[in-house]
Amino acid sequence: MKNVLTEAKLLLIGIPVAIWTLLPIYNLFLFSISTKDDAFAGKLWPDHPTLRNFEIVFREQHHFLGKFWRQLGNSVLIAVAVGVITLLVATTAAFAISRLRARGGRLVLNCALFTYFIPAAFLAVPMYKAMSAYGLLNNQWALILAMITIASPYAIWVLKQASDKLPWELDEAARIDGASPLQLFWLVYLPLMGPSLVAVGIYALLLAWNEYLYAFLLLSKEDDLTLAVALGQFLSADDSPWELLMTTGLLYALPPAAIYYVFKRYMQAGLTAGAVKQ
């Protein structure tokens, strides 16, 4: 009886939350299979469902979509680069702080924590100036470096916490076995950090994938833009092609969903690692 009651309560909360979450996505989907006229008719299912919108997007048959594939490629390239480089920075930092007990490690960690207090939007203009000083404006590296800067502190923090959970004896055993710090890193540390690395890598990758403000500020050539910025441009016209915007949006949302699905197992293991004593 008690179970039924608990179940009912959960459903009572779960159903509204599910509707709340899924409704916009359904709307996105609805627009993407509707003609322009159908889209605004306010129906729950279009009279004439069509895949024509997808065809337009894939064939770049609208002037807002002139560089769809190129911009999608940019998004992928930048997201992957940010994910990989952030991982590289964060794992080596976490390893040095947590396992090699590098001097000044605490300071680095405290600084990393401190950066949370500053909203990324605050730093947008200083970052723009900095990139301009480096001569990187209109270069995709500007966005990549900026995103790494924003993602790294959290990534270092999380990986440091995860590193601390590895038994210290493993390092000692490896040292006695004759491992140099670099061998320890490659042969013992990295393999054991797997789940956390996946979680943190995906975090950085999606942060970059979803970024709008910095991409908008730091990139301006149409060939360099990410899809997020390109989507924003749809709204610059008075008569926006909403059905195409929504179609592109749906396509844009698919890779993150796929990534979450594939790495679901690792994500859970990684993000909750250290939450409870095992």
Partner 1 sequence: MASVSFHDIEKSFGSTKVIHGISFDIQDGEFMVLVGPSGCGKSTLLRMLAGLEEITSGTISIDGRPVNDVDSKDRDIAMVFQSYALYPHMTVRDNMGFSLRLRKADRKEIDSRVARAAKILNLDPYLERFPRELSGGQRQRVAMGRAIVRDPKVFLFDEPLSNLDAKLRVQMRSEIKALHQRLKTTTVYVTHDQIEAMTMADRIVVMHDGVIEQIGTPLELYDRPNNLFVAQFIGSPAMNIVEGTLRRTNGMAHVETPDGVRWPLGGGAGADGQAVTYGVRPDHLELGGNKDRGVPGEIIVVEPTGSETELVVRIGDAQMVVETHGRPTLQPGDKVTFAVDPANVHLFDRTSGARLAS
Which positions touch partner 1 (CB under 8 A)? 167, 169-170, 172-179, 183, 187-188, 191-192
Q: How far is the CB of 194 from partner 1 (least distance, A)?
A: 8
Output 126 or 178, the one with its CB closest to partner 1: 178
CA–CA gap between residue 32 and residue 29 (Å, rounded): 5
Output 216 or 266, the one with its CB closest to partner 1: 266
Q: How far is the CB of 182 from partner 1 (least distance, A)?
A: 11
Q: How far is the CB of 197 from partner 1 (least distance, A)?
A: 13
CA–CA gap between residue 208 and residue 215 (Å, rounded): 9
Non-local (6+) Cβ contacts of 174 within 8 A are 183, 184, 187, 188
Output 59 or 106, the one with its CB closest to partner 1: 106
Q: How far is the CB of 277 from partner 1 (least distance, A)?
A: 15
Output 173 or 262, the one with its CB closest to partner 1: 173
Q: How far is the CB of 159 from partner 1 (least distance, A)?
A: 17
- Compute the chain's Rg from CA coordinates: 23
Q: Which of 84, 86, 95 is nearest to 182 (CA)?
A: 95
Q: How far is the CB of 12 from partner 1 (least distance, A)?
A: 41
CA–CA gap between residue 187 and residue 250 (Å, rounded): 41
Q: How far is the CB of 156 from partner 1 (least distance, A)?
A: 23
Output 135 or 178, the one with its CB closest to partner 1: 178
Output 188 or 204, the one with its CB closest to partner 1: 188
Output 94 or 188, the one with its CB closest to partner 1: 188
Output 175 or 264, the one with its CB closest to partner 1: 175
CA–CA gap between residue 115 and residue 146 (Å, rounded): 14
Q: How far is the CB of 186 from partner 1 (least distance, A)?
A: 11
